[in-house]
Structure 1
Amino acid sequence: MHVRAVAAAATAFIGTAVLLLPAPTAQAAADDDRPLVVAHRGASAYAPENTLAAVDMAADMGFSWVENDVQRTKDGELVVIHDATLARTTNVEELYPRRAPWNVRDFTSKEISRLDAGSWFGTRYAGARVPTLEQYMTRVSRNNQKLVLEIKNPQLYPGIERQTLKVLSNEGWLSPARLRSRLVVQSFSAATVRTVHELRPGVRTAFLGTPKIAELAEYATFADQINPSYMTISRGYVASVQAFDGPHGRPLEVLTWTVNTAADARQMAEYGVDGIITNKPDVVRKATKS
């Protein structure tokens, strides 16, 4: 968690060390490219967000990293959905007209499983469902993808950090190989990020937001990434974050969101961010690689 004052010497050392490592596979090389492109809620510009269809769309487009949101039902099931309410992305108002405001936590997993989470996006996706976290992880595993998982609205769901980690463990996602390079758990709640780190120190974690530079040393004790909105950062801020080492002894990373235009993607790349979270991963990849 110290600021690196010998960057030039470290760069020289790394350059020597690289010569001793085996050549990466094509996929590993692509994942090592910077900025990394993460499909926000799946490829959500092209398929209904946080559904299995959006995960598959990202895979079909060649993107190995996806991002999702996790919340909890009335009967304690973890489901993948962004909003605290079901109204925007499902037909809950039609099926359950007298149960406003249609909060996720007020419905059982069985009730939510009946909802159509795709028709709002287009008739092609009619009948898509709100996946449970287990269903989502099974699909991500099948597609050989990697995951940035957001614990959403943790203040509404006491204990959701431990429960999320249990599901990840049951699905085989806390193995050493996956912890090294296939999973990040993030939240807008610093307390939640800290809790995840304390419960499972091997998990890479991220804080969603833009802490003051004076606060970064504290965040670096429990977060591996600082993931801010692209509208809140500058080249100097990115460099300030990356000057700290995180809890796993590596420089803090910056994954910024939600970047959907080529111009903004190029600007973020010029700022030196490590990754870009986007609804349009194809647009961002083309812009940053051109």
Structure 2
Amino acid sequence: MHARAVAPATALLGAVALLLPVVDSPAATGVRPALVAHRGASARAPENTLAAVDAAAGLGVAWVENDVQRTRDGELVVVHDESLSRTTDVEEVFPGRSPWKVKDFTAAEIARLDAGSWFAPAFVGTRVPTLTQYLRRVELHHQKLLLEVKNPELYPGIEQQTLKVLGDEGWLDRRHRGRLIVQSFSADSLRAVHDLDPAVTTGLLGRPAVADLPACARFADLINPSHVSLSPEYVSAVHATAGPHGRPLRIFVWTVDDAALARSVAGFGVDGLITDQPDVVRQALASP
């Protein structure tokens, strides 16, 4: 690249970096890791529903996590499994449609399903929300969002579509930059998100080898592994790697529901804990 082209590019990266949240590692600051309500407060309400967002808000939890997939007719909906059978009554409503995959149903058909009765009688009639509905409920509570692009290989172009919905709902403006992280297990999907909008904060799910961290850091701001694969040395290696905006990579760990485990993992210096039990984990970290 010619010298006169380098300066504008460097200035642009610097401007983008200024829009991202500054989060030093807990090990360096003594600050407790952020708590992220996994699929909403999913120990208290049906996962990935508006009720779970409300439950997280009721607990005073700032971050919620959710999963996005696409219906047969192109609507983005919030649901975790590739099949609707575990968390809805789809087998009763559409008995002849096995294996009941999200991608084989229209948005109107999914809107008919009960996504709450499997969890508890109090949630009978709870629905699978669209991504738009979910974003509006998170915004209502002034919460932050960790949004997972689920099974992107099944939904070509879902990254661009997800960013469009986020943009339409105002989630890509300067005010929301510190309140949104888009994550995926798919490096290709996350790279697509970064290429489409480099200002969006991104997280790569899983545990890439330490030797691969510099390559991942070209398009991911966070590395988000399972707690079972974690060590203090790995956390240090992540924090020692500069991300796409020139800041150290961060690390959010899933799924941490036990008090002793929460204290142990927090002691590694992680930046966030993804949990079904945010109240339990918060109490554990507050205890001496």
User: TM-score, normalization: structure 1?
Assistant: 0.88
Alignment match of 2:146 (pick from 141, 145, 148): 148
Q: Does 1:226 align with 2:232?
A: no
Q: Does 1:202 align with 2:170?
A: no
* Distance verdict in 2 for CA 1:118–1:33, change over 3 Å: farther
Structure 2 equivalent of residue 288 of structure 1: 285
Alignment match of 1:45 (pick from 27, 37, 43): 43
Structure 2 equivalent of residue 17 of structure 1: none
Q: Does 1:158 align with 2:156?
A: yes
Report SS of the residue matched to 1:75: coil
Structure 1 equivalent of residue 271 of structure 2: 274
Matches within 5 A, 1:109-148: 109-148=107-146
Structure 1 equivalent of residue 25 of structure 2: none
- The residue type paired with residue 56 of structure 2 is A
Alignment match of 1:187 (pick from 172, 184, 189): 184
Among the aligned pairs, what percent are the same residue? 62
Report SS of the residue matched to 2:32: coil
Alignment match of 1:261 (pick from 248, 258, 263): 258
Structure 1 equivalent of residue 64 of structure 2: 66
Alignment match of 2:214 (pick from 213, 217, 231): 217
Q: Does 1:177 align with 2:175?
A: yes
Report SS of the residue matched to 1:158: coil
Cα separation, 1, equivalents of 2:32 and 2:146: 16
Structure 1 equivalent of residue 86 of structure 2: 88
Give the deviation of 1:190 after TM superposition: 0.4
Give the deviation of 1:248 after TM superposition: 1.6
- The residue type paired with residue 174 of structure 1 is L
Cα separation, 2, equivalents of 1:193 and 1:95: 35
1:181-205 deviation digits (Å, cap 9, x = unpaired): 1000000000011110000000000
Cα separation, 2, equivalents of 1:186 and 1:63: 19
Cα separation, 2, equivalents of 1:111 and 1:33: 45
Give the deviation of 1:33 after TM superposition: 4.1
Counting matched residue pairs gives: 258
Report SS of the residue matched to 1:254: strand
Moved over 6 A (4+): none
Give the deviation of 1:286 after TM superposition: 1.0
Report SS of the residue matched to 2:267: helix
Structure 1 equivalent of residue 7 of structure 2: none
Give the deviation of 1:289 after TM superposition: 2.0
Cα separation, 1, equivalents of 2:257 and 2:232: 19
Q: What value does the CA root-mean-square deviation take over the aligned residues?
A: 0.9
Q: Which runs of 5+ in 2 are unaligned?
A: 1-29
Matches within 5 A, 1:25-44: 33-44=31-42
Q: Which runs of 5+ in 1 are unaligned?
A: 1-31
